[in-house]
A and B are shown apart, each in its own frame.
Chain A
């Protein structure tokens, strides 16, 4: 090796230049790799442990029918849905509410083209069921809603659908989000008309006529 260098002194310089450029390329490559892969999970794992939870309000408890009677302690006597439904034959075709009888009389129903048994579980009326037949407890109703309302669920997951209270900054405090059925009646999910609150009384632009006559 030393003999070779003595023979051609320029060779040492060439070797040096090649060595440095290879080294710098390697460093550059390593940095590039780190910025794309290694850094992202590091930040995530750093932020996670301190975060307060985002909780979703539970859905309704498993419903029970109030019989109107009271037990000796004065508590109302309620019965499970399955009490009556174990003796009746499920009607898979029912899509309207107007001829419902007994406890279901007067139900306002407008939810697309669904039948009762699209959501209610004919095998166990104290639960609901998913499209694939698995049963779902009433408090976990959001799993059921999300099967059809995918876009709403996506927006919900990203905070752009559904009311919430608490903290925007989860490092400082928790957040509580509404459940689908806190706002939407599952039998009549469209929002009802509401009377607006706090009509403005502007000095400048209060209409001469009583409010409500919007002739625009």
Chain B
């Protein structure tokens, strides 16, 4: 390679640049590095760095995710034995990650039962005890105060959620306000299920819309599709002290969710499918909540639907919620 410094330019370059006019050989420093080589080097380094960064989650995947979990089938495709294996693994993982001994079950819908929930707006006083009970029962992330129930403080005579306040922190009930707890309405035609690209969420026979937390990819389409803002996303791995973990858990409801998946109210199916009342109902000090089997003509929920002034939220959307609001006389 000829040394350009030793050669005089044959024709001076008219441009105001440092090129050796007419000479096509790129300029190089004394030790032979060209600018092109430097740029190539920088480009290659950045490229490798970007590639490594892009692959980095895979190293975490092997750390956090076992091969069994990675290869786990969709909930509906799991056989009885496979479910038992999965539940065993999840129990072990909870012990490893949270230090708590829990029992994870998989209660199935009860034949012929369809769950319904009604809430009496005349007596709800907005104390948010239901939201707190949900927070504890469903093993929600402690620092974010996560809960499936959001209580809106509404102005009397108005149904305008734009003007509602879900962050009130003054003594309740205020005289010119009423309080409207909103949670999953377990729609008959759930838009959240329609939009899920991987069928990680579906409606069960007893009317409960559930999520397979191990199948969910965390795209949050369902969160956007829900007109009741009822779905929550796990932005971070839930933090719960071992002593506060509710050990009675189920696969489709209150087991501790992984980071990056959606979660939602399941009417406490780990309780209700065993005949018990939901945690939010038991916590309500006013008795504003009524829960039961819509198929049983003698149930309390049916009495409310037949005898009270009942409405559903955003009826015009035609989603047919199984959550009802009602008034006293």
| A contact residues vs B (CB 8 Å cutoff) | 151, 155-156, 158-169, 171-173, 175, 178, 183, 191, 193-203, 205-207, 211-212, 214, 216
Contacts and interface: CB of A to CB of B under 8 A. Distances in A.
B172 A196 contact: yes
A199 B274 contact: no
A168 B167 contact: no
B123 A164 contact: no
Given A167-B277, A198-B132, A193 B171 contact: yes
B9 interface: no
B285 A183 contact: yes
15 contacts: A160-B118, A160-B120, A160-B304, A167-B275, A172-B276, A175-B277, A183-B285, A196-B127, A196-B172, A197-B128, A198-B145, A199-B145, A199-B169, A206-B167, A214-B165
Contacts of A194: 125, 127, 171-172
B277 A168 contact: yes
A211 B169 CA distance: 6
Contact of B304 (A158, A166, A167, A172): A158
B321 interface: no
Interface stretch (B17-25, B183-191, B252-260, B288-296): B288-296
Contact of A162 (B128, B129, B287, B299): B287
Describe A's contact surface by its main secondary structure.
Answer: loop
Contacts of B328: 151, 155
B131 interface: yes
A205 B145 CA distance: 13
Chain B residues touching A, range: 35 or more
B286 A168 contact: no
A191 B167 contact: no
Contacts of B276: 166-168, 172-173
B235 interface: yes
B128 A168 contact: no
A-B complex: 8 closest residue pairs judged by Cβ atoms: A172-B275, A159-B300, A169-B275, A193-B171, A162-B287, A211-B169, A212-B169, A198-B132
A175 to B, nearest CB: 8
A90 to B, nearest CB: 35
Nearest to A152: B328
A195 B171 contact: yes
Contact of B303 (A158, A197, A212): A158
A198 B131 contact: yes
B167 to A, nearest CB: 5
B147 interface: yes
A167 B277 CA distance: 5
Contact of A169 (B126, B132, B293): B293
A82 B274 CA distance: 49
A164 B287 contact: yes
A160 B167 contact: no
**Residue from the set B150, B275, B303 with the largest chain A CB neighbour count within 10 Å:** B275
B285 to A, nearest CB: 6
A198 B128 contact: yes
Contacts of A160: 118, 120, 287, 290, 300, 303-304, 308, 326
Contacts of B290: 159-160
**Residue from the set A156, A160, A193 with the largest chain B CB neighbour count within 10 Å:** A160
B286 A163 contact: yes
Contacts of B293: 168-169
Contact of A211 (B167, B235, B282, B285): B167
Nearest to A169: B275
Contact of A200 (B131, B163, B164, B277): B131
B120 A200 contact: no
A201 to B, nearest CB: 4
A191 B179 CA distance: 15
Given A173-B275, A200-B131, A203-B235, A161 B284 contact: no
Given A167-B276, A168-B292, A216 B164 contact: yes
A158 B303 CA distance: 7
Contacts of B326: 160
B300 A201 contact: no
Contact of A168 (B155, B291, B329): B291
B21 to A, nearest CB: 61
Contacts of B62: none
Contact of A199 (B123, B167, B275): B167
B272 interface: yes
B263 to A, nearest CB: 14
Contacts of B153: 214
B228 interface: no
Contacts of A191: 125, 173, 286
Contacts of B173: 191, 193
B13 interface: no
A203 B166 CA distance: 13
B126 to A, nearest CB: 6
Interface in B299-329: 299-300, 303-304, 307-308, 326, 328-329
Contacts of B126: 196
